[in-house]
Amino acid sequence: MTDLWGQLEAVIEELSRVSDIQAAAVVRRDGLVITHTLPDGVDPKIVAAMTAAIVGTSEMATVQLSQGRFNRALVESDEGKLISTGAGEEALLVALLYKDANLGLVLMAMERAARQVDEILRRGTGR
């Protein structure tokens, strides 16, 4: 478990090094924190709960509007952006971005990180 956690931490630390990403976290789909690089002022529990809520609503909309499988949700606010994407069956990857972030670069880095998180969790649970 320690090893698994260390691997996940390495993935999000690498993701957080992308200059436009303020912080990142891996959370469970039910809204609990797995690991994060959030700054002190941000409550990881709130980020995890909000991410799960956003993905839940977005997935409902995707299904109701027959848009196929959900990929990611992006919430843009006055002071920043929040991107949530699935990372395997059980986890979500979330990144907090600065307002003027280069989305192309960030999305590429997130796709790679989400694949890595999925692989790590699959290995960890022996699936």
Residues that bind another protein (CB under 8 A): 41-42, 46-47, 50-51, 53-54, 56-58, 60-62, 64-80, 82, 96
**DSSP three-state, residue 3:** helix
The smaller minimum CB distance to another protein, of residues 53 and 108, is found at 53
Q: How far is the CB of 42 from another protein (least distance, A)?
A: 7
The smaller minimum CB distance to another protein, of residues 84 and 120, is found at 84
Q: How far is the CB of 69 from another protein (least distance, A)?
A: 5
